[in-house]
Amino acid sequence: MISTAYAATEAAAHAGPFYTEAHFWVNVAFLLVIGLAWRPVARAIAAALDARSAKIKGRIDEAHRLREEAQELLATYQRKQRDAMREAEEIIAHAKAEAERLAHQAARDLEVQMKRREQMALDRIAQAEAQALKEVQHTAVDIAIGAATKVIGESLSAGQRAKLVDQSIRTLPAKLH
């Protein structure tokens, strides 16, 4: 192996000038192709990179716009939430005041109703007392009439009784009017 490598090195040293070698011309051709293709490829790469850059910039701008929109919406909803909370507190305060007013009104109405019922009960009691007094008076009158009839019937004669009845009938219209 060493002898083969040495022989190749010797052969290379005795070969002609470098431009007569195939490797040289392959390298030159490669560099020419790269050199000629560089400009259109570079433009295409630059255009692709510019397009991608513009697309990314557009996305970033869209993201900024969306962020600002979201912040505006957030501020709007926070303001609406504050307004709704304030309105809810006002409704609760109004409901409490209304409930308190209704409770006071119910207490007053109950008191008035209790006084009315008490007065009605007192009126019924007075009416019952008056009725009982009338019944007692009627009973007393009936007893007195019965007793007077018995006494008069036993102590007066028939003529005296007729005279007494006639006199009572005459005085009756004056007593009734």
* Percent over 90 (pLDDT), the chain: 56
| Residue 8 confidence (pLDDT) | 57
| Residue 9 confidence (pLDDT) | 59
Start-to-end CA span in the chain (Å): 172
pLDDT averaged over every residue in the chain: 87
For residues 172 and 111, the model is more confident at: 111
Could you please report the per-residue DSSP string of 14-80? TS--GGGSHHHHHHHHHHHHHHHHHHHHHHHHHHHHHHHHHHHHHHHHHHHHHHHHHHHHHHHHHHH
Q: How far is CA 93 from the centre of its chain?
A: 14
* Confidence tier at 3 by pLDDT (50, 70, 90): low
For residues 158 and 42, the model is more confident at: 42
pTM over 0.85: no
* Tens digit of each residue's pLDDT (9 = 90 or more) over 38-87: 888 889 999 999 999 999 999 999 999 999 999 999 999 999 999 999 99
Model confidence at 115: pLDDT above 70: yes
**CA atoms of 30 and 160, how far apart (whole Å):** 177
| Residue 168 confidence (pLDDT) | 80
Whole-number Cα distances in Å, 112 to 105, 116, 119, 123, 161? 10, 6, 10, 16, 61
Do 51 and 59 contact (CB within 8 A), yes or no? Answer: no
Model confidence at 2: pLDDT above 80: no
Give the start-to-end residue ranges of the domains of the chain.
Answer: 17-176
